[in-house]
Amino acid sequence: MQSKIYELLEHNQDLLKDRRLVIAGAVTDERVLNLCLSCKSASVITDNLLCARRMAAMIGQECSDKRRQRFSYKHLNVFFDTIDEASSALESLDALLLILDKSKAQNSKIISLIASRLEDNALVLCAGENNGGGKSADTLLKALGDPCKADSRRKCTLFATELKNRPALPKTSPALTLEIDGTELTLAQDEAVFSMGRVDPGTRMLLETLGDVCAGRRALDLGCGCGVAGIFMKKKGALSVTSTDISAAALALCAKNAALNQVSLEIKAADSLDFEGKFDLIAVNPPFHQGNGFERQTALGIIKKAASHLNQGGELRLVGNTFLGYGAYLNESFSDVEVLARDTRFCVYRAKNS
């Protein structure tokens, strides 16, 4: 939840009255829908499945496992979608509220894409926590006009400007071509998805342990990101691969990369293992960064639920930073646990549902 940012925006809600508004960026607090009540029309774009579910429920609708979804109620539209795809569906607007994403490149991309849908002199607002770039967000808006600080409270800052200049549309990053365990992969890139411009070392180590166990198996690429693990497992002979993620941007990139590599994946929106299904092989590199620190809860939730999603003899393959100590937790949920690979940074575990 973004309670600090929401309180800042709620205090400045009069700026949005009678506007044709779009809210985009790091939208994870469903209460932003309350900011839209006094608007003529409003669209909210979120990349986060959990937020999309909560917003859909607020307007009496339900979120499915589709990677692109849109919910409409009276003057309001909610998109669970990428900024590229959702922005193309927007009509003429006179206000943008950007909630800062952790990626400066992604913030710039959002502004560039939505600016083409804004009228001249449209209001552009940018809000974020000071330790997340909010204090210096005026730099982001200087390409559009002459920004000023509209408000600051609870260590969050709101900047505003009128749209005088339209930034150029972002350039597409070139695809990445690489080889892992003798398998060639071509991967399109996206600033909004983890490990832009490379396959991170932990994922590479995980994949290098998977090559000889994929054939004929029903596999799950959990938290698929760009789709590299699912594509790799399919190329290594997996009977079927389901790729899931909580992020609309990740799901879209996974679908794009599956097409680039000419493999068929079942791509679904899901929050971790909160869905029905059993598999012979689950591959996961769980996130552990949270702001400037780290957390184990996502991984621990996966470890506790994984056995119920594995067929008899099925395996969980999990990679994590060595210092996180996932081995002890795996031993609590599985009787057959083995370390397959380890270096000074990462450790790959195999846990078998025997």
> 284-301, pLDDT tens digit by residue?
999 875 544 456 789 999
In the prediction, which pLDDT does 136 show? 84
Average pLDDT, the chain: 94
- With a pLDDT cut of 90, the percent of the chain lying above it is 87
Q: Is 121 helix (H, G, I), strand (E, B) or coil?
A: strand
Mean pLDDT, rounded, for 148-165:
96
Provide DSSP, 305-336. HHGGGEEEEEEEEEEEEGGG-HHHHHHHH-SE
pLDDT digits (tens, 9 = 90+) for 193-202: 987 778 999 9
Reported as a pLDDT band with limits 50, 70 and 90, residue 32 is very high
Reported as a pLDDT band with limits 50, 70 and 90, residue 345 is very high
**Is the pLDDT at 239 greater than 50, yes or no?**
yes
Spatial distance between the Cα atoms of 229 and 221, rounded to a whole number of angstroms? 6
Q: Is 218 helix (H, G, I), strand (E, B) or coil?
A: strand
pLDDT digits (tens, 9 = 90+) for 80-132: 999 999 999 999 999 999 999 888 889 999 999 999 999 999 999 999 999 88
Higher pLDDT, 351 or 195: 351
**Is the pLDDT at 277 greater than 60, yes or no?**
yes
Q: Which residues of 96-108 are buried (b: 16+ CB within 10 A; e: fewer)?
A: bbbbbbebeebbb
Contact assessment for residue 23 and residue 45, using Cβ atoms and an 8 Å cutoff? yes
In the prediction, which pLDDT does 102 show? 81
In the prediction, which pLDDT does 291 show? 46
Full-model pTM: 0.94
Mean pLDDT, rounded, for 55-74:
97
Mean pLDDT, rounded, for 276-286:
97
Q: Nearest-CA neighbor of 208 among 353, 343, 305?
A: 343
In the prediction, which pLDDT does 292 show? 42
